[in-house]
Amino acid sequence: QVQLVESGGGLVQAGGSLRLSCATTGYIFSINVMGWYRQAPGRQRELVAVISIGDSTNYANSVKGRFTISRDNAKNTVYLQMNSLKPEDTAVYYCNANIKANIGSRYRAYWGQGTQVTVSS
């Protein structure tokens, strides 16, 4: 049974840094796109960054130059390095991955449980 397990959230002062990790568990045949999304109170979930299996990346304009997404394909893990954090980065951060669980299945989206990131001013 495939699961995504996030870690690394917490409370940090503005200007500080955090590194989020998302590890996959269970049998996995293949993963293509992995990414991070976030949802602040009263707002819709939004894309933060995505990375393809070939390491092509895409970032939300609000985090460009501050956040870096990376992945370790051997560990089926995706990371989000967040620097120069701002209070407006406060949100629950969710990991997402498009996974083919076995050779006969299609890719489908899986989500982590979310990890809280709080940036104080």
Q: What would the pLDDT profile of 47-76 be if each residue is shown by its tens digit?
A: 999 999 999 999 999 999 999 999 999 999
Q: Spell out the long-range contacts of 70-73 with Cβ–Cβ below 8 A and sequence spacing 24 or more.
A: 71/34, 73/31
Token match 């979310």: residue? 114
Amino acid code (one letter) for 63 = V
* pLDDT digits 0-9 by tens, 7-59: 999 999 999 999 999 999 999 999 999 999 999 999 999 999 999 999 999 99
pLDDT, residue 35, reads 98
Other beta carbons within 10 Å of 28? 15
pLDDT, residue 25, reads 92
Q: What is the rounded CA–CA span in Å between residue 36 and residue 4?
A: 12
